Structure 1
Amino acid sequence: MAEEFLKLCSRSLKIDKQRFRRDFAVFEQKKEYLKAKLVGERKGKLFCLSNIKTTATKVIVKATVGTIGPSKRRRLNEPKLNLALLEEEQKKALLKARKLRKDYDIFVFPESETTPLPIFSFDDLYKHYDISPRLSKNLQRWGMKAPLPVQMQVIPVMLKGHELQCCAPTGSGKTLAFLIPIVTILEVVY
């Protein structure tokens, strides 16, 4: 009986690859994505993609490691932000935000008027988002001088009430980026 069971378990399985070629293609695409992701992790670059619709009902900020960016086809179809239509102060703030994103390899795609600008320090939270100064002081007391790249973009997006998806490497500051808006909301409620 045990011998028959071993024969049954060790018997090789044959799968018709022609019949199930669509299923195999899906797995091959995933393998290529994972290979590209691992290559990017070694480089240590951080990409932040934001899919912001003009209605501003849903925001997806995806911070992933790797050299994967939006496809050219999608890039052509998305509306671009026209700097000529903005006021002078808005232009300066947007250009400053673009420089910060470029310096820290944060990509926001597509950029629109409803895209929350990244924060440059935790004091910006107090100034622009009505967060209690006590939270800002506690962050500084715990040794947090400035937000990490993921936190720079994720915190403003969450505080504006947008839905969010964030993927980033371990130790990039995701937990704090999610907790600061949650603590702020709890302070307002209670």
Structure 2
Amino acid sequence: MVDVLHHTRRASGTGPRLTRLRPLQGFLLPLGLALGWELVVAAGWNSGRLLPPPSVVWDTLSDLWAQGDLVHHAQATLVRVGLGFVAGVAAGTVLGAVTGYSRTASRLPDPSLQALRAIPSIAWVPLFILWFGIFETPKIALIAVGVFFPVYLGVMDAIRGVDRKIVEAAASFGCPA
């Protein structure tokens, strides 16, 4: 039996060597695109001003690391993303649970939230700058909005998708319905 499996794997091209290389296959496309873009800029077909080639990005990252600025900027970004993520998940979970649990309670916020969901994220930027100023708050709010809608819809749909028989069975064991 083992011999048959061994020959089947060899015939299909998934031998031990290729199996070990499989995780690296996902890097082929991005590396190929980066190399291609580097060659396009080096050949002079594009200036690389709007989208710099990987060598310029690497040099800039190296300079920022050498000056000690890269860690500072990475920490600031992680704080913004973390705060925005927590705020968006918290609000999305609470509103998603309320609107998913009660169809009556969902009649008020859900239509407005569905309308707001159609607004592209980039359209929020000027409003957030006007409302919150130009410092950290608009950046955090934009991340929170980006996180809110998928969480809200996921929680609402998950709660609405629970089979009523399961809820009735839990209630018969004394769980609140």
**Under TM normalisation by the shorter chain, which class is it?**
under 0.3
Between Structure 1 and Structure 2, the one with more helix by share is 2
Query: Normalising to structure 2: TM-score of the pair?
Result: 0.24
Higher strand share: 1
TM-score (norm. length: structure 1): 0.23
